[in-house]
């Protein structure tokens, strides 16, 4: 479990990116941080692995304040996947995936063998292992980025807009792939996106952030749709316009959550 307690981050130039955040991120589930640009999502994510340290409050992982853990040791248990994959262009795919384990002293043979298995895990053909990132499509590069994030066998996987730079069709494939992977692996995933539909699709818990890094609501997609916490959330999720892929409708006095094709996804307790 990851817990934010009264977390604030003010950068040296005075910008308050995140203010007074309290959230509990449950283990083995996907929590999605969603909000418009500059709402503090990336800052919040980076406080988990100490790429950013809070100016007030605490971030705890399984009850331990991360401020007491040396960053390199901390990151051993935390995978990180970023937008544009962040792959090293002059290294082959297999070596990109194996980079961190190699730095940590795993033998080259073992690291490469594990990297090949991870290509299978993320649905990439092993024949791509000897190619360079530029020889891959954007979607394939993102899969390599996910394989690299998994290479340290982390309990926690941080994903910062990992599918933001690919076209909508590939994006939909990658989303499905992540759902499948998560079913199999059950990591504690923290995922950042601008896209509320992506948040509702992937998130067990969705955290809606406002400018100034405040949380408007943290709940399941169904709860947010049924009971938006305030006008900001209602507008953000388009609840009033019924334009979401997932939305609430009333049938025979029962409130149903239905998907874009009109298929019921659940019944709401009244």
Task: Give the residue, chosen from 21, 30, 35, 225, that forms a contact with ligand ATP under the rule CB under 6 A.
Answer: 35
The alpha-helical segments, DSSP class H, found in 122-191 are: 138-150, 168-185
Residue (93 or 207) nearer to ligand ATP, CB: 207
Stretch of 11-19, 70-78, 102-110, 142-150 lying at the interface with ligand ATP (CB under 6 A) = 11-19
Tell me how long the chain is.
270
φ/ψ of residue 89, rounded to 5: -65, -30
How far from chain centre, in Å, is Cα 90?
Answer: 27
Residue 216 lies near ligand ATP (rule: CB under 6 A) = no
Stretch of 34-42, 95-103, 144-152, 220-228 lying at the interface with ligand ATP (CB under 6 A) = 34-42
Residue (82 or 181) nearer to ligand ATP, CB: 82
Listed residue (104, 88, 84) closest to 96, CA to CA: 88
Task: Enumerate residues 158-197 that contact ligand ATP by CB under 6 A.
Answer: 194
Name, in order, each residue with C-beta under 8 angstroms of 63's C-beta and a sequence gap of 6 or more: 1
Residue 129 lies near ligand ATP (rule: CB under 6 A) = no
Please count the residues of this chain forming the interface with ligand ATP, following the rule CB under 6 A: 13
Residue 54 lies near ligand ATP (rule: CB under 6 A) = no
Residue (35 or 54) nearer to ligand ATP, CB: 35
Stretch of 41-49, 123-131, 177-185, 197-205 lying at the interface with ligand ATP (CB under 6 A) = 41-49
Task: Give the residue, chosen from 30, 31, 43, 85, that forms a contact with ligand ATP under the rule CB under 6 A.
Answer: 43
Q: How far is the CB of 101 from ligand ATP (least distance, A)?
A: 28
The SS3 assignment for 253 reads coil
- Scan for tokens 């309290």, then name that residue: 22
Task: Give the residue, chosen from 3, 8, 38, 185, that forms a contact with ligand ATP under the rule CB under 6 A.
Answer: 38
Contact (Cβ atoms closer than 8 angstroms) between residue 218 and residue 33: no
Contact (Cβ atoms closer than 8 angstroms) between residue 206 and residue 34: yes
Handedness of CA 91, 94, 99, 102 (dihedral sign): negative
Residue (76 or 214) nearer to ligand ATP, CB: 214
Taking each helix axis from N to C end, the angle separating 168-185 and 138-150, rounded to the nearest 10 degrees, works out to 20
Question: Can you give the binding site for ligand ATP, defined by CB under 6 A?
Answer: 11, 13, 15, 17, 35, 37-43, 194
């Amino acid at each position: 479990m990851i817990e934010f307690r009264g977390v604030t981050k003010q950068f040296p130039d005075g910008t308050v990116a995140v203010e007074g955040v309290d959230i509990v991120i449950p283990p083995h589930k996907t929590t999605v941080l969603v909000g418009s640009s500059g709402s503090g999502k990336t800052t919040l994510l980076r406080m988990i692995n100490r790429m950013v340290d809070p100016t007030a409050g605490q971030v705890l992982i399984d009850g331990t304040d991360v401020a007491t853990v040396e960053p390199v040791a901390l990151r051993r248990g935390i995978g990180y996947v970023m937008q544009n994959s962040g792959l090293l262009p002059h290294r082959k795919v297999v070596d990109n995936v194996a980079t961190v384990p190699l730095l940590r002293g795993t033998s080259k043979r073992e690291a490469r063998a594990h990297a090949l298995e991870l290509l299978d895990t993320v649905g990439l053909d092993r024949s791509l292992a000897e190619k360079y990132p530029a020889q891959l499509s954007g979607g394939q590069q993102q899969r390599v980025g996910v394989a690299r994030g998994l290479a340290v066998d982390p309990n926690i996987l941080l994903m910062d807009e990992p599918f933001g730079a690919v076209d909508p069709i590939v994006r939909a494939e990658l989303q499905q792939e992540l759902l499948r992977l998560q079913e199999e692996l059950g990591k504690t995933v923290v995922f950042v996106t601008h896209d509320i539909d992506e948040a509702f699709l992937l998130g067990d818990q969705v955290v809606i952030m406002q400018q100034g890094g405040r949380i408007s609501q943290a709940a399941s997609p169904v709860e947010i749709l049924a009971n938006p916490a305030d006008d900001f959330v209602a507008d953000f999720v388009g609840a009033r316009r019924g334009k979401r892929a997932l939305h609430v409708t009333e049938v025979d006095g029962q409130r149903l959550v239905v998907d874009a094709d009109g298929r019921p996804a659940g019944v709401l307790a009244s």
